[in-house]
Structure 1
Amino acid sequence: MLYEALLLLGVLAFAFLLPQMILGMMTKTLPPGWVSLMHVFGVLGLYFYVLWGRNGQTLAMQTWRLQIVDAQSGKLPNASQRLMRYVLSWPSLLFFGAGLIWSLFDRDGQFLHDRFAGTCVVLLPGRPGE
């Protein structure tokens, strides 16, 4: 998650900060806080939704050979599962990581947002020679 957060700093710098700075310089105003929060929510949502749909992996997940799959079929998650997983991951993290801590007690070791979205994180086989 730390590696993912570092990569997300770059995504947010490009897709959030840059437009906010340009808008601020052009209009000499800043959008209300709730607009900025929705901008962040949208930028991150698009990042996760698109990458999970492409191959079930974000950039950081590719490094660690992790993949999001449908818990029943093992295939890539469908559109509603990706959206639900993203939306539910926010409270999972923001309530002091309760949805992550849940995985310590879950019978399958799943995060709470994965349980509700019908997805799971799997470890892909290693490369030959590892």
Structure 2
Amino acid sequence: MSNNPHPTIKRRLISMVYESLLGFAVLFLPFLIFEFATQASHTAMMEHLRQALAFVVLGCYFIHQWSRDGQTLAMRTWRMKLQANSGGPVTARTAAVRYLLSWMWILPAVLVALTLDLHRWQALGAIFAGILLWSLTAFLDKDRQFLHDKLAGTRLIQLPAPEKKKKV
């Protein structure tokens, strides 16, 4: 186990908001190409392909970043790093498992919204409720790690603040 402290839940949630904005940037070019290739078709099949494209592109991004050096851009900004529970780097396989498990933040709420035929604000409310409930899983762990990290065998650590440069 690492001696580094764990980031606060608040810090991780704020980082996730930043991460979601970066996710839109990561998806921009693949979606632009997709829209040109499909002539912006909105058939049911094309909508499912869009969702699959987002899932794959985001998966490639996160798995690559986590297994490369344990950090995405948002994690660098907030000085957090992902590591294996052993303290070592995260393998691509472990990163893939973490990526799949991280969908538990929203998947149950999406399924509830679909089952109850919720639309717009009600569906969005269900998703926010699901995110809130999943964030509470951190209180099940003494180091306040979220359940998807616990199940994947990973942990987020807080990196120290960079040393301030002395004025000459």
TM over 0.5: yes
Q: 2:5 corresponds to which residue?
A: none
Q: 1:83 corresponds to which residue?
A: 96
1:48 shift after superposition: 0.1
Once the two structures are superposed, what CA deviation does each residue of 1:46-103 show, in whole Å capped at 9, x if it has no partner? 00011111110001101111010001x2111112210110000001333302332201
Q: 2:121 corresponds to which residue?
A: none
TM-score by length of 1: 0.87
Q: 1:41 corresponds to which residue?
A: 55
> 2: CA distance between counterparts of 1:84 and 1:93?
16
Q: 1:113 corresponds to which residue?
A: 148
Q: Which runs of 5+ in 1 are unaligned?
A: none
Q: Which is greater in Rg?
A: 2
* Count of matched residue pairs: 126
Q: Superposition RMSD on alpha carbons, in Å?
A: 1.8
TM-score by length of 2: 0.69
User: Is the 8 Å Cα contact of residues 57 and 67 (structure 1) preserved in structure 2?
Assistant: yes
Q: Which runs of 5+ in 2 are unaligned?
A: 1-15, 109-129
Higher RCO structure, 1 or 2 (CA under 8 Å, sep 6+): 2
1:30 shift after superposition: 4.5
Give the percent of matched residue pairs that are identical in Structure 1 and Structure 2: 37
> 1: CA distance between counterparts of 2:98 and 2:107?
14
1:11 shift after superposition: 0.8
Alignment of structure 1 residues 1-130 onto 2, 5 Å: 1-15=16-30, 17-25=31-39, 29-30=41-42, 32=45, 33-71=47-85, 73-95=86-108, 96-97=130-131, 98-129=133-164
Letter aligned with residue 24 of structure 1: T
1:124 shift after superposition: 0.8
User: Is the 8 Å Cα contact of residues 99 and 113 (structure 1) preserved in structure 2?
Assistant: no
